[in-house]
Each structure stands twice: as structure tokens, then as C-alpha cells.
Structure 1
Amino acid sequence: MIPTKKIRVLVIDDTIVYRKAVSDIIEELPCAELAGVAHNGKIAVAKIASLKPDLLTLDIEMPVMNGIEVLQEIRRQRLDVGVIMLSTLTAEGSDMTMRALDLGAFDFLLKPQQSAGQADGKRQLKEMLQPMIEAFARSRIAAGMVSGRAGLQRPTGARGRDGSRTAVPPARPMPVATRTPERKTKSEIVVIGISTGGPNALGQMLPGLPADLGVPILVVQHMPPVFTRSLAASLDKKCRLTVKEASEREPLMPNIVYIAPGGKQMKIVAAADGTNRVIKITDDPPENSCKPSVDYLFRSIGDYYVNRATAVIMTGMGSDGTKGLQTLKSKGARIIAQNEETCVVFGMPKAPIEQKLVDVVAPLGRIADEIIKTVKT
């Protein structure tokens, strides 16, 4: 259901072609209206105060004040506005985008390649931008993410600005509707599916896991090529576990977090010895319009880790992961879902919770603890 209140959008881009294309798209969307435009970040910050938009579409690379500097100024002034970044498919663009997401940007989209014609480019932009704006409109916490007003749960034991400990609500068990095979005591692998809001959520959750967790973790984060490598590098700096972008035929090792490469599918298969497991990177088609796809990975885990897997479904648009969780549930996996209150977009966890596929529903600040329980006891 699309919210009835229109989202007021300020379009910021130093390139007139993109500024015009995005402005035209905003005016075509039933959920949005154009609040204004700006051709650099300094002008944009001034216009936020006067126009009071709900959302910015923000070019990441601009003269005078770039997108990162705009986000920093929004945070400094505690301006109540959401941000969708427009980025380029380059290593520099991906690194800057990871920084923008760390600073609280809601999501990002890639500018169409210059080889695309004007009509095709605008169509591609609209296909990406419309669902993002609709998801932003439904989100309870998206508008305050940059300013720090969103009320996101901090990890257990984290300290607030005043030095006090942040209380985190407890996780709650869910009734199990379907009978599953008898479980072993410990899980031997953890798999995570996540999308919109994911980089920030992973950056809060994964540091809560110990260096000696003792099992591999595989993550599907919906992202294009290049960006997943930047995400892995960013997370690796924050975590006690090693975080890396997964490679073809790479053996699964404990205490390593493997991020599925953007634009590829990732699954696990048997190694040549028939005993161990390795990562398989494929160019198979998208599933749920996603590549990498959570369902694609989750299905493969069910084939090899009966009763010995933990699956985590977290913030994100759409329903990717639900079918994979149905398979994992039938194979005795333990399933953890992020709760609605701490999701940037309560899409991917919603159906699994409603279908009672989930064993525990946990706020973001408790998910690491719940994962530890499944592999340590």
C-alpha cells in the first residue's frame, strides 16, 4: 500500500541532464512531489532549511560540497531529512557510497551508463527510484537516519553520547507452525539475507560477534558489482571476524564472513573430496529481480547442513529469502528475523514472521547474541 501523503523531494546534482531526468521522474510518481533542485551541495543545504523536503536525491560527486560533505552537514545541524544517493559504478564511487550509507543514507542507486539513450536511462532511473521512494514513505525510521533521530537500536552494551548504556529490548521466541527435523545442539554455519539498510545494520551487528565464533558466515546483501568489495572492506575494519568478498571455489573456513559478489549468484557445493564445502559463484539468472539472491544461497545451505544451520533475515525491500527460509525450515535450520521496529524497511522479514518460519524475532542490537546462542550451545 502506497502512503497517501506525498514525499517532498529535493533533487541535487551538478549535471543538468540527471537533474532534469530525476526531477521529471519525481513529478511522474504518485507518491512524490518535487520540492526543488540544487546544482551543488552548498546550495542544497541552504534549501533544506527553506524548502523542508522529506527526502533528498543526492549526487555523490559534486564540486563545492560533495555528497559526503552534505551528509556530514545534515548530521551536524540535525536536519530531519532522508537521503537517497546517486552513485557511479567505479571503485571511488563505491567507496564513497559505503561512507554515505555509514552516515545514514537510506539507499543508493547507480546512474545509468552513458551508453544508454536518454529515454532508456530515464526508464532505468525510474524503475530503481520509485520503489525506493515508496519504501522510504513506509519506513518508520528512515527520515531521521542521517540526523541521528531515527532511534535505531545500538548494539548490546553500546554507550550513548552521554556515556550511559543503551538498553536493548529482549528478543522474543515465535511459535513454530510446522514440525521440523530434530536439531543438533550447535549450528555449523550462519547465513544472512539483507538489503535496504543493510550496510549500516551489518556494521552494527557483525562487530558483536567474537573472533572465535567457530563457524563461517555467508551474507547476501543486494548490491551491484564493485560495491560489495567496498562493503566487505568497510566491515572488515569494524569486525573481529575477517570479512571479505567471496571467491569462486573458495573453501568455507570458520571465523570468516563471506559477502556474495554483486552481480553474481553465490551458493555452496561439495568440494572434490566429497566431505568439505566450497563457495560456487555463478552467472545464473536473477531471482526475485535480485543478483545476488538470498533464496539462491539459502536453498544450497539446506542441501548440505540439515539441522546444522542458522539463517538470519534482516532489513530490506521485497520478499527475497522467504522461499529459501521455507526450505531451510524443512531442513531443521534455526531462523532469526530482525524485528519491525529496528528495520529500515520491514519487507524481507515480514512474510517469514507472518508464516511462522521464524524461531526468534530480535531487535538489531540483539541479533549477534542470538546467533552466538545457536553456534555455542
Structure 2
Amino acid sequence: MTAAQPQKPASPPSGALPRVLVVDDSAVVRGLTARWIEADARLELAGTCADGEQGVRRAGELQPDLVVLDVEMPRMDGLAALPLILKAAPRARVVMASTLTRSGAQVTVRALSLGAADYAAKPEAGKVAGAEAYREELLRKLLALSPRAAAPVRAAPSAPLAAPRPASALAAKPSLIAIGSSTGGPQALREVLAHLPADTRAPVLITQHMPKLFTAILAEHLSKLGLPAAEAQDGEPLRAGRVYLAPGDWHMTVRTGPEGFHAVLDQGPQVNFCRPAVDPLFKSLAAAAGRNVLAVVLTGMGADGREGARALRAAGAPVIVQDQATSVVWGMPGAVAEAGLADMILPLKEIGPQIVRRLKGLP
């Protein structure tokens, strides 16, 4: 994997830079990643390691803000090292570096459910174009996860709630539940879905920013929580008590048909630089089901979901967002909250129980 040396971005304001530890058994990838970080004036390279055991030890010694952790390594792989690194450096945010293979995706999705903040897809060896895309993705995610990125955001309580609506409107039992998530989403989704009972009387639709293969594996993991979960199929009728994920590289929307609501998949242009994206799902639900939808926006970078939440609010549907304190990145939920489109801003642990209350017709 090779790539041209990028131009050094402008220096950030004064103050300590986010410190990054790179853990990768490939000397080529490790050195290239280190050079990318050293070339970016917004980041500082804390150190490099060749395997998970070294990574755990150096994380404890260096206390980095960010860790780039390879998935497949000798002696101790990324999945085994992850919990030990998080214990040794509790404030560190870990980005898993994974190849786009089924084995790599399986380990990465497992790591995301165990506390890794995000992942970046490593290209095949020798692909220059893939290396450049990996560099851009990795640096973007490291910067979004850094303490510097989180610090300027104002506290969640100051975000405006949406204009109050009659209690009767908020107490209506939803016919569909729609959830949008991105960075930190797999772990947040596990927390939310774990609260939903087997007799949940609504389909649950999820758009999680992930590539193909990863979404199928995420569905397998979520199925273990109780409700059956799978990638949605085009034209598939939506059944209560089932979880439908937008497949990677496909937008998922909802329309009404002879059998009620059904899923529609398309590969239209990216929305908010994403496919799948949350806005198409939310907007389609506003048109198809209106106030009978309960929408939830979980942790994630960017503003995907804001315009969809606007459409749902206009149609009379309630919108819940995750609060800043429990979000890995308060981008998506923050965008909805700051636009005054959130009926409730809740800690992650309260969102699942709140969905259950709404399904019972309670405010």
C-alpha cells in the first residue's frame, strides 16, 4: 500500500494536540500510517507498535487520546487487545483498521459492539487509490473522535427541544420505529434493542452507516439480542417484531403496498456523503406513515437525519435523540437537537425504555 505524501494542513489553535498510537503488524502500513499522522498538523504521533501485546503496554505508558488498532495481528489480535487497551487507557478512542473481507468484517463488528469507537477500511496491498481513500477516511475519523473536536460543542441541555405538542400526539402507539446511527452506532444499537420485548408490535428499521458485508454481520449480532434482525430485501413486507437494516451501499425507504408497509432499496446518489443514509428513510416514512412513526437518532458524525427529522416532525411524528454525554460523536443527534427538532434528548440507557413506553401508548 503506497500513496503520495499529502500536503500538511494548517495548524490548529494553540493547545495540546490529540495523540495517536498506531498498532499494526505490517511495517509498511504502520510506517505509512505514522507518516500520515506526522504530516497532519492537527494530530501528534504518540508511538507505534507491531502487535497487540505491545499495544496494550504502550497504551498504558503513553495514555494516547486515539488508537489505530489493526484487526489481524500475531501474538494478540485487535479483538483481544481492544478491552485491555481500553482498560489501560480509559480515555482513548479506538479506531479498528480492517480489511473488507468477511473475517475482517466479523471481527470489526464484534469490536464495535465491545467499545471500539469506529473503523476504517484498509485497501488491498498495492492499490494506491485505495490507500488514498483509506488515508482520508482514517484522518477524518480520528479528527472527529479527538478531544479537540468534542470540546467546543456546547452542553446538551442548552440544545432547544422542539415546540411542545399535545400529550395525546406523543402518546400515540407507533406503527413503525426508525433508527439512524453512525459512529458508535453498533454499541448504541445493542443497548437500545436489548430493551425491546419479543412481542414488540412494530417493525424496527435501522440505517447504520456501514459498507456492504458489515451490515449483514451487524444484523447477525443484533439478532442475538432477541428480535430477529436481517438486512432488508427490496419489496419485502415489514412485519412487527422484526428488525430491518439498510444493506451497505443501498438506501432503504418505505412505501405502502397491498400487504401494508414494505421496504424499497435503491442505489441512488449518496445523501450526506452516505449510502445508506438516514434522511431518505425518514423522509419516506413521513410520507408513508406520518405521525405513526417513532424516530430515533443515535450517535454519529455529520448531520444525516436532520432533514428527515424535519419531515417527520412536520408530519406529526415524535423524534428522540441521544444526548451528548453518552454519544461517541454528537454530530447527527446534535444537528437534530440544535435545529429544534427533538421532542426528547435522552441518555442512551433511557432510549430503549422510552421506546417501550411509546409502544404501550404512554408519553
Alignment counterpart, residue 101 of structure 1, candidates 101, 108, 112: 112
Give SS of 2:332's match. Answer: coil
Match of 1:89 in 2: 100
Of 40, 61, 65, the residue aligned with 1:54 is 65
CA shift, 1:132, in A, is: 1.2
Structure 1 position 125 matched with structure 2 position 134: yes
- d(CA) in 2 for partners of 1:44 and 1:182? 52
Structure 1 residue 115, shift from structure 2 partner: 6.1
1:303 aligns with 2:287: yes
Q: TM-score, normalised by structure 1?
A: 0.84
C-alpha contact (below 8 Å) 2:63/2:89 kept by paired residues: no
* Partner deviation per Cα, 1:302-353 (whole Å, 9 max, x = no partner): 1110221111011000000001111111111111111111111111011211
Instruction: String of CA shifts for 1:253-274, please: whole Å, max 9, x gaps.
Output: 0001111111111111233xx4
Tell me whether 1:29 sits opposite 2:40 in the alignment: yes
CA separation in 2, counterparts of 1:189 and 1:362?
Answer: 20
1:109 partner SS: strand
1:286 aligns with 2:270: yes
Q: Name the aligned partner's letter for residue 260 of structure 1.
A: A
Does the 8 Å CA contact 1:267/1:297 hold for their aligned counterparts?
yes
**Matching of residues 236-275 of structure 1 within 5 Å:** 236-238=223-225, 240-271=226-257, 274=258
For residue 41 of structure 1, what is the aligned residue in structure 2?
52
* Residues 1:139 and 1:369: Cα distance change in structure 2 (over 3 Å): farther
Q: Distance in 1 between matches of 2:169 and 2:71?
A: 50
Distance 2:232 2:82 in 1: 30
- State the shift of 1:48 in Å: 2.2
CA distance in 2, matches of 1:257, 1:7: 38
**Pair 1:344-2:328 in alignment:** yes
Contact 2:65 2:146 in 1 (8 A): no
Residue-pair matches, total = 343
**SS in structure 1 opposite 2:287?**
helix
Q: Which moved more, 1:247-256 or 1:98-107?
A: 98-107
* CA apart distance, 1:110: 0.3
Q: For 1:11, what is the secondary structure of its paired residue?
A: strand
Q: TM-score, normalization: structure 2? A: 0.87
Q: 5+ residue gaps in structure 2?
A: 1-11, 152-158
* Amino acid aligned to 1:128: E
The residue type paired with residue 264 of structure 1 is W
2-side partners of 1:209 and 1:178: how far apart? 26
User: Does residue 366 of the first structure (1) align with residue 353 of the second (2)?
Assistant: no
* 8 Å contact kept, 1:173–1:359: no
Q: Confirm or deny: 8 A CA contact 1:140 1:344 kept in the other structure.
A: no
Residue number in structure 1 paired with 2:154: none
For residues 361 and 41 of structure 1, what CA distance do their matches in structure 2 show?
Answer: 38
Quick one: which of 302, 318, 321 aligns to 2:302? 318
> Aligned residue for 2:193?
206
Query: Displacement, 1:74?
Result: 2.5
Structure 1 SS opposite 2:236: coil
1:45 offset after TM fit, Å? 2.2
C-alpha contact (below 8 Å) 2:293/2:318 kept by paired residues: yes
Shift in Å, 1:28:
2.0
On the 8 A contact 2:52/2:81 being kept in 1, the answer is: yes
Find out whether 1:116 has 2:127 as its counterpart: yes
Cα separation, 2, equivalents of 1:50 and 1:116:
35
The superposition leaves residues 41-61 of structure 1 with CA deviations (integer Å, 9 ceiling, x where unpaired) of 222223223333222111100
In structure 2, what is the Cα distance between the partners aligned to 1:140 and 1:200?
Answer: 21
User: Secondary structure, in 3 states, of the residue corresponding to 2:69?
Assistant: strand
Does 1:176 find its partner at 2:176? no
Residues of 2 paired with 1:183 and 1:67: CA distance?
A: 44
**Distance in 2 between the 1:138 and 1:29 partners?**
16
Asked whether the equivalents of residues 183 and 308 of structure 1 are also in contact (C-alpha less than 8 Å), the reply is: no
When residues 77 and 54 of structure 1 are mapped into structure 2, their CA distance, relative to the original with a 3 A threshold, is closer
**Greater CA drift, 365-374 or 224-233:** 365-374
Taking only aligned residues, the RMSD between alpha carbons, in angstroms, comes to: 2.6
Is residue 4–residue 31 contact of structure 1 (8 Å, CA) maintained in 2? Answer: no
What is aligned with 1:5? 16
SS of aligned partner of 1:280 = strand
**How far, CA to CA, are the matches of 1:3 and 1:209 in structure 2?**
46
Provide the C-alpha distance between the structure 2 equivalents of 1:4 and 1:290, rounded to a whole number of angstroms. Answer: 33
* Aligned 8 A contact 1:139 1:344 in 2: no
Matched, 1:191 2:178: yes
Q: Which amino acid aligns with 2:270?
A: P
Among 123, 128, 146, the residue aligned to 1:137: 146
Displacement of 1:280: 1.1
Q: CA deviation at 1:371?
A: 1.4
Structure 1 gaps, min length 5? 143-171
Contact preservation (8 Å) 1:31, 1:133:
no
Shift in alpha-carbon separation, 1:113–1:314, aligned structure 2, 3 A: same
Q: 2: CA distance between counterparts of 1:128 and 1:276? A: 39
Moved more, 323-332 or 2-11: 2-11
